[in-house]
């Protein structure tokens, strides 16, 4: 049986779901791949809980349940000053110990460090892991949308980095783009509806996703250079208008100003969609007029859609569509990424 040691950073909804998926998939992974995922450490923003012997032991299924219960109640791992045979490190010790555990494991058995947090604080650890030639799996968008300097350090060994769940949750977006690139296809244009605007009226979440895709295509861009059209004007922003005022008066003003644009688009046979467009050196997020009859134009509800135009998909785009959010789907994408790294472990 091939053993893949894992350190998980981030015990929010996605991280906890991942731990539960790992436990429930043990039989499938053993039977289909001869692989066992061995969780050797779990960290939240303050603390690291690690197994007594990182080379032979693992977080048992009962402890996984306990940790998930603790975290879903809003407690910190640091509330466990001790827990069974496990070691608990807090505050400044946390980063030192993750790096130390990683260094030992990368040199011996190999290691995957999985980042399901939503924090920028993990970037330093991840860069060290990349430098050591360890594997990295991200659901966290922040490390990939920091400066180009940080980005370059992270993608040092591209085959050891997976991040499907940073764009469109478990949808096979990153992997499909990577396949087109490795087959020498030329990607002309990507248009995507990659977030639910109800959660992201300011557009920053979709801007991060757009940046991740643009950098994958070779654009050397910084986040603040992406043109983002917010769905609300500055005078309705969180610093200028209260939530109550925004809901009572702001939203109806937005509806009025958009109604004109909707009508104008309709007169061209088009509809408005809030999308990212990546084309040549262009990377933008905003409202676009799109053909009513395209996959994006027909989009209803909360699905994500990506249209890729390339040499191979020139007349009609390659379309990937489906649920692009949710802890279950996001964690499933992370787990598929981990399994896809199995050939790098012995």
**Among the listed residues 80, 118, 181, 272, the single contact to its own copies using CB under 8 A:** 181
Catalytic residue, candidates 71, 142, 153, 209: 209
Q: Please list the helix, strand and coil fractions of the chain in percent, rounded to the nearest 5, in that order.
A: 45, 25, 35
262-274 per-residue burial string, b: 16 or more CB within 10 A, e: under 16: eeebeeeebbbbb
- Find the shortest distance in angstroms from Cβ 60 to its own copies: 19
State the SS3 of 77-116. HHHCCCECCEEEEECHHHHHHHHHHHHHHHHHCCCEEEEC
Residue number with CB closer to its own copies (28 or 258)? 28
Residue number with CB closer to its own copies (160 or 209)? 160
Query: How many other C-beta atoms are found inside a 10 Å radius of the C-beta of residue 343?
Result: 8
Residue number with CB closer to its own copies (187 or 236)? 187
111-136 per-residue burial string, b: 16 or more CB within 10 A, e: under 16: bbbbbbbeeeebbebbbbbbebebbb
**Among the listed residues 41, 134, 203, 333, the single contact to its own copies using CB under 8 A:** 333
Residue number with CB closer to its own copies (88 or 296)? 296
46 sits near its own copies (criterion: CB under 8 A) = no
**Binders in 6-25 for its own copies, by CB under 8 A:** 21, 24-25
Q: Quick check: 111 and 5 in contact, CB under 8 A?
A: yes
**Binders in 137-176 for its own copies, by CB under 8 A:** 158-159, 164, 170-172, 175-176
In whole angstroms, what is the distance from residue 139 CA to residue 209 CA? 11
Residue number with CB closer to its own copies (225 or 316)? 316
275-309 per-residue burial string, b: 16 or more CB within 10 A, e: under 16: bbbbeeeebbbbbbbbeeebbbbebeeebbbbbbb
Site string for its own copies, 184-223 (x = CB under 8 A): xx--------------------------------------
Output the CA torsion sign for 193, 194, 198, 202: negative
- Find the shortest distance in angstroms from Cβ 153 to its own copies: 17
In whole angstroms, what is the distance from residue 139 CA to residue 137 CA? 7
Site string for its own copies, 259-298 (x = CB under 8 A): ------------------------------------x--x
Number of residues in contact with its own copies under rule CB under 8 A: 50
**Among the listed residues 65, 199, 255, 340, the single contact to its own copies using CB under 8 A:** 340
- Find the shortest distance in angstroms from Cβ 217 to its own copies: 12
Query: How many other C-beta atoms are found inside a 10 Å radius of the C-beta of residue 60?
Result: 15
Q: Quick check: 273 and 287 in contact, CB under 8 A?
A: yes
**Among the listed residues 149, 244, 301, 346, the single contact to its own copies using CB under 8 A:** 301
In whole angstroms, what is the distance from residue 253 CA to residue 242 CA? 15
209 labelled catalytic: yes
- Find the shortest distance in angstroms from Cβ 39 to its own copies: 15
In whole angstroms, what is the distance from residue 312 CA to residue 310 CA? 5
180 sits near its own copies (criterion: CB under 8 A) = yes
- Find the shortest distance in angstroms from Cβ 300 to its own copies: 9
The residues, any chain, with a CB within 8 Å of residue 104's CB and separated by 6 or more, are 54, 55
Site string for its own copies, 307-326 (x = CB under 8 A): ----xxx-xxxxxxxxx--x
- Find the shortest distance in angstroms from Cβ 314 to its own copies: 8
Active site residues: 209
Residues that bind its own copies (CB under 8 A): 21, 24-25, 28-29, 32-33, 158-159, 164, 170-172, 175-176, 179-185, 295, 298, 301, 303, 311-313, 315-323, 326, 328-329, 332-333, 335-336, 339-340, 342-344
């Amino acid at each position: 049986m091939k053993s893949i040691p894992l350190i998980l950073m981030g015990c929010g909804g996605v991280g906890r779901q991942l731990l539960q998926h790992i436990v429930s998939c043990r039989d499938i992974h053993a039977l289909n791949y001869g692989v066992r995922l061995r969780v050797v450490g779990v960290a939240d923003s303050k603390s690291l809980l690690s197994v007594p012997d990182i080379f032979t032991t693992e977080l048992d299924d009962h402890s996984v349940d306990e940790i998930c219960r603790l975290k879903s109640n809003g407690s910190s791992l640091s509330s466990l000053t001790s827990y069974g045979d496990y070691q608990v490190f807090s505050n400044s010790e946390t980063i030192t110990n993750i790096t130390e555990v990683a260094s030992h494991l990368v040199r011996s058995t190999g290691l995957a460090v999985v980042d399901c947090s939503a924090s920028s604080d993990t970037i330093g650890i991840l860069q060290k892991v990349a430098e050591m030639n360890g594997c990295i799996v991200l659901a966290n968008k922040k490390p990939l949308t920091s400066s180009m300097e940080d980005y370059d350090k992270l993608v040092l060994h591209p085959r050891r980095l997976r991040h499907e769940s940073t764009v469109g949750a478990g949808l096979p977006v990153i992997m499909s783009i990577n396949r087109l690139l490795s087959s020498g296809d030329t990607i002309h244009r990507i248009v995507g509806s990659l977030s639910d605007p109800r959660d992201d009226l300011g557009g920053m979440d979709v801007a991060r996703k757009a940046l991740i895709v643009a950098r994958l295509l070779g654009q050397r861009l910084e986040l603040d250079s992406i043109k983002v059209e917010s769905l609300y004007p500055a005078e309705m922003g969180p610093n200028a208008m209260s939530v109550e005022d925004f809901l009572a008066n702001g939203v109806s003003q937005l509806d009025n100003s958009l109604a004109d644009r909707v009508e104008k688009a309709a007169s061209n046979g088009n509809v408005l969609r809030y999308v990212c467009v990546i084309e040549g050196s262009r990377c933008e997020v905003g409202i676009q007029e799109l053909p009513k009859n395209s996959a994006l134009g027909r989009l209803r509800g909360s699905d994500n859609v990506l249209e890729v135009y390339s040499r191979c998909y020139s007349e009609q785009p390659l379309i990937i569509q489906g649920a692009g959010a949710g802890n279950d789907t996001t964690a499933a994408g992370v787990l598929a990424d981990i399994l896809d790294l199995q050939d790098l472990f012995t």
